[in-house]
Structure 1
Amino acid sequence: MSDRYELFLTCPKGLEGLLLEEASALGLEEAREHTSAIRGMADMETAYRLCLWSRLANRVLLVLKRYSVQDAQSLYEGVLEVDWFEHLESSGSLAVEFSGNGSGIDNTHFGALKVKDAIVDKLRLKDGTRPSVDKLNPDLRVHLRLDRGEAILSIDLSGHSLHQRGYRLQQGAAPLKENLAAAVLIRAGWPRIAAEGGALADPMCGVGTFLVEAAMIAADIAPNMTREQWGFSKWLGHVPALWKKVHAEAEERAAAGMAKPPLWIRGYEADPRLIQPARNNIERAGMGDWVKVYQGEVATFEPRPDQNQKGLVICNPPYGERLGDEASLLYLYQNLGERLRQACMGWEAAVFTGAPDLGKRMGIRSHKQYAFWNGALPCKLLLIKVQPEQFVTGERRTPEQREREREQAEADKAPLVPQERQYNKNGNPIKPAPAPVVEQARLSEGGQMFANRLQKNLKQLGKWARKEGVECYRLYDADMPEYSMAVDLYGDWVHVQEYAAPKSIDPEKAKARMFDAIAAIPQALGVDKNKVVIKRRERQSGTKQYQRQATQGQFLEVSEGGVKLLVNLTDYLDTGLFLDHRPLRLRIQKEAAGKRFLNLFCYTATATVHAAKGGARSTTSVDLSKTYLDWARRNLSLNGFSDKNRLEQGDVMAWLAEDRGEYELIFIDPPTFSNSKRMEGIFDVQRDHVQLLDLAMARLAKGGVLYFSNNFRKFELDESLAARYQVEEISASTLDPDFARNAKIHRAWRFSLRG
């Protein structure tokens, strides 16, 4: 065995430069960068030191041999030439990792098999004993990298990846690997700040990875000092005396570091389920005296060390990896920016994010940015010095955009018709709602323009809603093409649906406008940011259907026409209440007295509740979804309706074909299409509406009325229906003022039997 070895240190992509600096400081010589790795020369003591002290590496590989490979046989022969008796007992265990391709070897499993065969064949030549394969805890882990015809054969000194420090047995939904967390801390200047006695706070600490890594850096503790099993532990080339020396030095440094007064290191986490796992991780790392974790929201975050002490605020906010999630995280980033300005003046901040556009919305400018990779996700580290000159108020715009937005803003500020004293249906005067105040300094020009439009709509529609006793209504529906979304009010909650931008629109511009608009909503409407729910409505095609959005299970009670209804603003794309059908529901309530009512594709049975309120003799509601029928049952129960209200689960077409009931009032609001696994085939409203209506009209009592509605924009009612039934389109009369701007939201017809 040689006294000097070539070493390869692998690392996450983007950490190569930092790892080069760290490894050179630990004694690696002639070090050079490669993609996701560095290489250099070192003696065995330095190799041990790199294993123990590297905060950034994944693995430390000791190169045994480099050789040229032409095919699988030459790969095998090159491995066979190594004297494996110097490295592994023939009765020991072995694991082989193979990466790369070429030279006729395109399958890594096949490559690993050839390497393993060569090692086994070499070792059993002595007495026939051969090593076994153990992929989890082998005595020797061998790695071969094949790159452009060259094989690099190595022994893995690390064993398990070095990022696995051993303290983090519990983790959250989006964990940050320990070596990446350490790299972010180093880039953020934490070693310097810690040496100066500074503090550290993480307002979104999760299970505490940043906190533990920061504490170990500050206390000069080797990141893998407590590891018991190493890749070199049973390697025959292992030099225990050297290892004991290196480990003893680390123990002495750790003892000296822990004897120092602990730095102020604190974490805050909004999710109460993560508090105990974070504390457990901190205790396992032995940093309980240094690190404390508390439950707290970002909006109320405030570090509280000595007032004269400064330090580093570091965090890894959610990225919004799912489509449409970014917009819903805007307020989180805004809250973070506000707390930095209000509570951390004079501190340094480091925000690690996979959504740099959201980072720009914090309202505070970064002075440096670094590119990283979190797995396959490109990320940015934003470094901020929290000083007044770092504050920003909005995004840049071209002169043409500014002029157009100024013109639009002026138009929206135009005086409305002087308000007359208004009275509700009971004859009581209506007190005008106070106009919300917009913090203009915090909004871009585009955001201010959007805020002006919301306020204008609120003045007009708010007057109508108060007079009519309407609590839930649509305030904005893509009134301005640049801001393509729907904004609905549910009491003091705001439900926002972003429409997917046309393909002709630059996605980055569309995203920027969306952020402008969302930033304006709480200020324009005077609502709490936590009561704004944001979703994205995609264009659906083929058999694609909307899926469940979340599982919060939070229901909000709202009122409409004297009934109480439950809506869920978070878990589904739709809320459980179709606002555009309000006039139809109220019409059903007025006409239901003494009648048998049938509600097909009933959804959450809001129309059924109105029919029951109107005095229906009985109600029958049919839907394929058990979830919606359970919701319907809760709506009926909420209003004290239980008797004579039948809920049926089933395919509507099949159910109608078997039903023999008779009904004086029927309501049908089918989906555009449905391909549920519980039904045979696919329901298509354009193709199947004639059959549906014929089946339903067969159940309509003499003198009865059937209301049919759907929201398929291209729908055309089959002309043959008018020859068999009395048909009247009533679409215009089924839209309230909040949907007057979107007259195509649905079409509706009144059917009755001829004669």
Structure 2
Amino acid sequence: MLKLFATCPKGLEYLLRDELAALGAAESRESLAGVHFSGSLEVAYRACLWSRLASRILMPLAEFDAASGEALYDGVAAVDFSAHMAAEASFAIDANGATRGVTHSHYAVQRVKDAIVDQFRQQSGVRPSIDTERPSVRFNLLLRRERGTLSLDLSGAPLHQRGWRDGHGKASLKENLAAAMLLRAGWPEIYAAGGSLVDPMCGSGTLLVEAAWMAADVAPGWKRDYYGLLGWRGHDSTLWESLRAEVARRAQAGLSALPSRFFGFDQDPAALNDARHNVQRAGVSGFVHLGRQSVDHLKRPQECDAGGLVIVNPPYGQRLGDRERLVPTYRTLGERLASEFTGWRASVITSEPELGRAIGLRAVKRYALYNGAIECQLLNFDLAEQAPAEPRTPKPLSAGARMLKNRLEKNRKHLRKKLEREDIHCYRLYDADLPEYAAAIDVYGEHVHIQEYQAPASIAPDVAQQRLREIVRVVAETLQVPRDRIALKQRYRGKGGEKYGRMDQRGEFIEVSEGGLSFLVNLWDYLDTGLFLDHRPLRGRVRELARGTRFLNLFCYTGAVSVYAAAGGAASTTSVDLSTTYLEWASRNLALNGFVGNRHRLVQADAVSFLEHDQEQYDLIFVDPPTFSNSKRADDFDVQRDHVRLLNACAKRLSRDGLLIFSNNFRRFQLDEEALSAFRIREISAATIPFDFERDARIHRAWELRHA
């Protein structure tokens, strides 16, 4: 079994994970801009031939210290390159990332090249040559957190280069992004049900070719004649040729049965000329109808009687056109979709929310995708359920709602400079500042999370509901956030303390960034989202203290603090929680940031029981217990009653010069310092309250504890 890594554009990780699993990959696990997986050589070859989403298939050869140019050279030189390439072969190197001592990719490439060439010179007196276009083998170097990973690039050239493209149109899509759009739009299911595909702004035909190949079971690698694996000494040519023969057989069979259900239009004759050449080179010209037409004249083709998909990559106003000038185009697109394609589905990608709104249709689903460096939204519409939105004059805000709107605008202005300076995207905007509107409003990137506090019994239910509706409306208008990006919850008291129940069944995670790291949050399914915003300074403090430490995170929740510790250079991290749901979530957060392997341990256990049975020593321990817990799998926990036992158990696992950080959010909590005489204790609460929570300085308390 080989350990492998497939790179992909950001936003495609989960699709790629599922695709690789379907190709036979084992242990597929998404990470930032890629997926770790394992499999046989056949699985690796199939990924090269059949992945519609991957950019490259990498086989890691070594991981090593790369804090300096010398360390990088030594780490590369330890690899036996004669096992991978002949002395007379050519090679190329791609480098990404940086470390403290290797800050430029050109320098990193030079050091790797020197190490490889010097090794061959010493062994045989012959040096391999450099070929950056089509080398015999290509190596990939990733530099991250003072470490380097050198991999063999089995793909050799980006896999989105399918081998059929004849020139690029203006702002043309990469093929793997086009494939992702089609998968997110549900094209395979639509085609299987007899549906057709229409692209009213087809450009050079990328979506048309990808859709036809997907429908005909044509491998993305069918037309490619170059792969990095072909010059690799470990290459199995017999296996490879058998897989290529299978690709040819399936393509021939699929294309022979493919119906002519693909329609592309564009008003640019040069783009259409490119599209004609491309569909011909891709072998699908007999199945694709092309015509010159503007979106103003878009109609459902007469041949389409079983519904289908309209999918389009219109100009965004960044690389082509001007945003204001494009609004009528998007509006016309929405009107034509609603009037001509009732019963169909539509999918539109754009980077500009105002252009998406100009379509005038309600998106039933939105996906974050990246077109190169441009962050986009893929908007999916079900045209069976709606017509163009009728313009209407909104009902005037009540006096109270106007006060709320003014307060939100004031808070945004107050926070803006600090948020921008510290690059903060997740923060608290409002926390029951006005008693009549008792809610916490948190921003998570492009989404908003509203927790309405339960109204007192003196407030009539209809009044409480009206205020809740006003909160949602004011948030949407003030922050310019569509309703489907606003998560609304009510927090209420249950027996034994705060009630944490499942709220929904969406299973929808969004990726947010904090401190240069990425985290998955779920705004809908639980009362808490997966990222405690008030702990932001505490997480930063852990990162500052973590270098070289053995780190333990008790009651780890979704592992955000463990991610910070790993980012700070912790020698190892151990994350403990009783919940399998949270441990799986923590694993995904760690992997999303590239922290995988034996150095990052996840343990399902009751925290106190773990401390009493574990034999390891830790230099840095973070403890943030719940106020109450009554799990069936462990004894009841009460932070006031049980914190002494918990912290004294931590003392046995804390190294001599170690540090324990203890935090909790029970507002009536009193630390029993007398019973904790084994520690020197310092309260750090004031320094750990973030500026966006300054209106509620009691949101949590925190202490540092060291051996007395």
1:506-546 deviation digits (Å, cap 9, x = unpaired): 9x98999xxxxxxxxxxxxxxxxxxxxxxxxxxxxxxxxxx
Letter in 2 for 1:144: L
For residue 249 of structure 2, what is the amino acid of its counterpart? E
Deviation at 1:70, TM superposition (A): 4.0
Residue aligning to 1:186:
183
1:122 partnered with 2:119: yes
Whether the aligned pair in 2 keeps the contact of 1:145 and 1:151 (CA below 8 Å) is yes
Q: Is the 8 A contact 1:199 1:305 kept in 2?
A: no
1:69 matched residue in structure 2: 66
Change in Cα spacing, 1:77 to 1:347, as seen in structure 2 (3 Å) is: same
Instruction: Report the Cα offset of residue 237 of structure 1.
Output: 1.1
Residue 335 (str. 1) matches residue 332 (str. 2): yes
Shift of 1:149: 2.2
Residue 323 (structure 1) shift: 11
Using the TM superposition, give the Cα deviation of residue 170 of structure 1 relative to its aligned residue in structure 2, in angstroms: 2.0
Q: Secondary structure at the match of 1:126?
A: helix
Distance 1:6 1:181 in 2: 28
Give the superposition deviation at 1:388.
4.8
1:377 is displaced (CA, Å) by 1.1
User: Is the contact between residue 9 and residue 61 of structure 1 (CA under 8 Å) also seen in structure 2?
Assistant: yes
Aligned to 1:232: 229
1:363 aligns with 2:360: yes
- For 2:297, the equivalent position in structure 1 comes to 300
Instruction: Within 5 Å, give how 1:594-613 maps onto structure 2.
Output: none
| Match among 270, 274, 277 for residue 273 of structure 1 | 270
SS of residue paired to 2:46? helix
- Is 1:383 equivalent to 2:380 in the alignment? yes
Deviation sequence 1:549-585 (CA, Å, 0-9, x none): xxxxxxxxxxxxxxxxxxxxxxxxxxxxxxxxxxxxx
Q: Which amino acid in the other structure matches residue 292 of structure 1?
A: H
TM-score, structure 2 normalization = 0.55
Which amino acid counterpart does residue 8 of structure 1 have in structure 2? F
Residues of 2 paired with 1:115 and 1:206: CA distance?
40
Percent identity, aligned pairs only, is 44
Q: In the aligned structure 1, how far is the partner of 2:371 from the partner of 2:63?
A: 31
Structure 1 residues 324 and 64: CA distance shift in structure 2, 3 A = closer
Equivalences for residues 92-103 of structure 1 within 5 A = 92-103=89-100
Residue 55 (str. 1) matches residue 48 (str. 2)? no
Alignment of 1:378-457 (within 5 A): 378-394=375-391, 397=394, 399-400=396-397
Specify the code of the residue in structure 2 equivalent to 1:226: K
Determine the structure 2 residue equivalent to 1:44: 41
Partner Cα distance (1:322, 1:138) in 2: 33
Query: Are 1:88 and 1:235, in contact at CA under 8 Å, matched by a contact in 2?
Result: yes
Residue type of the alignment partner of 1:52: L
Which one of 207, 212, 215 corresponds to residue 210 of structure 1?
207
1:291 is the counterpart of 2:306? no
Aligned: 1:33 with 2:30: yes
Letter in 2 for 1:255: Q
Distance 1:20 1:395 in 2: 44
What residue is the counterpart of 1:136 in the other structure?
133
Is 1:349 aligned to 2:359, yes or no? no
- How far apart are 1:230 and its partner, in Å? 0.8
- CA distance in 2 between counterparts of 1:144 and 1:283 reads 37
Alpha-carbon distance between aligned partners in 2 of 1:344 and 1:81, rounded to the nearest angstrom: 61
CA gap of 1:31–1:388, structure 2 versus 1, over 3 A, is closer
**Cα offsets for 1:574-602 (capped at 9, x unmatched):** xxxxxxxxxxxxxxxxxxxxxxxxxxxxx
On the 8 A contact 1:10/1:36 being kept in 2, the answer is yes
Is residue 200 from structure 1 mapped to residue 197 from structure 2 by the alignment? Answer: yes
Which residue number corresponds to residue 373 of structure 1?
A: 370
3-state SS of 2:60 partner: strand
Alpha-carbon distance between aligned partners in 2 of 1:395 and 1:147, rounded to the nearest angstrom: 52
For 2:20, the aligned partner's letter is: A
Amino acid at match of 2:55: N
Change (3 A) 1:353 1:123: same
1:495-534 matches, within 5 Å, as: none
Residue 5 of structure 2 aligns with an amino acid whose one-letter code is: F
What's the offset of the Cα at 1:193? 1.0
Residue matched to 2:246 = 249
SS across alignment from 2:159: coil
Kept after mapping to 2: 8 A contact 1:279/1:292: no
- Report if aligned partners of 1:103, 1:149 keep a CA contact under 8 Å in 2: yes
1:17 alignment counterpart? 14
**Per-residue Cα deviation, 1:451-482 (whole angstroms, up to 9, x for no partner):** xxxxxxxxxxxxxxxxxxxxxxxxxxxxxxxx
Please give the alpha-carbon distance, in whole angstroms, between the structure 2 residues aligned to 1:204 and 1:197: 23
Q: Name the counterpart of 2:109.
A: 112
Q: Deviations over 1:18-76 (max 9, x none)?
A: 11111111111111111111111111111010000011111111111122334322221
1:326 aligns with 2:326: no
Q: Secondary structure at the match of 2:289?
A: strand
In the aligned structure 1, how far is the partner of 2:257 from the partner of 2:212? 12
Deviation at 1:150, TM superposition (A): 2.1
Deviation track 1:236-262 (CA, whole Å, cap 9, x = no partner) reads 111101111211121121122112142
In the alignment, does 2:216 pair up with 1:219? yes
Q: For residue 378 of structure 1, give the secondary structure of its aligned residue in structure 2.
A: strand
- 4+ aligned runs moved over 4 Å, structure 1: 395-398, 508-512
Q: Which amino acid aligns with 1:196?
A: A
Deviations along 1:208-264, one digit per CA (max 9) or x if unpaired, are: 110000000000000111111111111111110111121112112112211214241
Classify 1:214/1:324 alpha carbon distance in 2 versus 1 (closer, same or farther; 3 Å).
closer
Q: d(CA) in 2 for partners of 1:398 and 1:238?
A: 69
Query: Match of 1:67, SS?
Result: strand
Kept in 2, the 8 Å contact 1:197–1:263? The answer is: no
Question: SS at 2:155's partner residue?
Answer: coil
Aligned partners of 1:39 and 1:359: how far apart in 2?
A: 34
Query: Could you tell me how far 1:179 is from its partner in structure 2?
Result: 0.6
Matched, 1:146 2:143: yes
| Equivalent in the alignment of 1:442 | none
Question: Retained in 2: the 8 A contact 1:158–1:231?
Answer: yes
Shift of the 238–299 alpha-carbon distance from structure 1 to 2, 3 Å rule, reads same
Report whether the alignment pairs 1:81 with 2:69. Answer: no
The higher radius of gyration belongs to 1
C-alpha separation in 2, matches of 1:45 and 1:381? 34
Given the alignment, which residue of 261, 264, 270 partners 1:264?
Answer: 261
Q: Secondary structure at the match of 2:43?
A: helix
Q: Does 1:176 align with 2:173?
A: yes
Q: Counterpart of 1:311 in structure 2: which amino acid?
A: G
Letter of the 1:374 partner, please give it. N
Q: Report the 3-state secondary structure (helix = DSSP H, G, I; strand = E; otherwise coil) of the residue aligned with 1:91.
A: coil
Q: Give the whole-Å Cα distance in 2 for the aligned partners of 1:145 and 1:95.
A: 14
Q: 1:287 to 1:77 in 2, by over 3 A?
A: same
Contact preservation (8 Å) 2:99, 2:147: no
- Deviation of 1:401 (Å): 10
Question: Following TM superposition, by how much is the alpha carbon of 1:396 offset from its aligned partner in structure 2, in angstroms?
Answer: 7.7
Distance 1:307 1:376, change over 3 A: closer
More relative contact order, 1 or 2 (CA 8 Å, 6+ apart): 2
Question: RMSD of the TM alignment (CA)?
Answer: 2.6
Q: 1:510 to 1:61 in 2, by over 3 A?
A: closer
Q: Which amino acid aligns with 2:245?
A: A
* Alpha-carbon distance in 1 for matches of 2:83, 2:131: 19
CA contact (8 A) 2:90 2:130 kept: yes
TM-score normalized by the length of structure 1: 0.52
Contact 1:14–1:373 under 8 Å retained in 2: yes
Q: Give the Å deviation of 1:169.
A: 1.8
Gaps of 5+ in 2: 400-474, 482-708
Question: Is residue 363–residue 394 contact of structure 1 (8 Å, CA) maintained in 2?
Answer: no
- Would the aligned equivalents of 2:196 and 2:304 in 1 still touch at CA under 8 Å? no
Looking at structure 2, the residues matched to 324 and 511 of structure 1 have their Cα atoms a distance apart, in angstroms, of 23
Q: Pick closer, same or farther for the CA change 1:378–1:70 going to 2, 3 Å.
A: closer
Aligned residues: 408
Tell me how far 1:395 sits from its aligned partner: 7.2
Q: Is the 8 A contact 1:198 1:263 kept in 2?
A: no
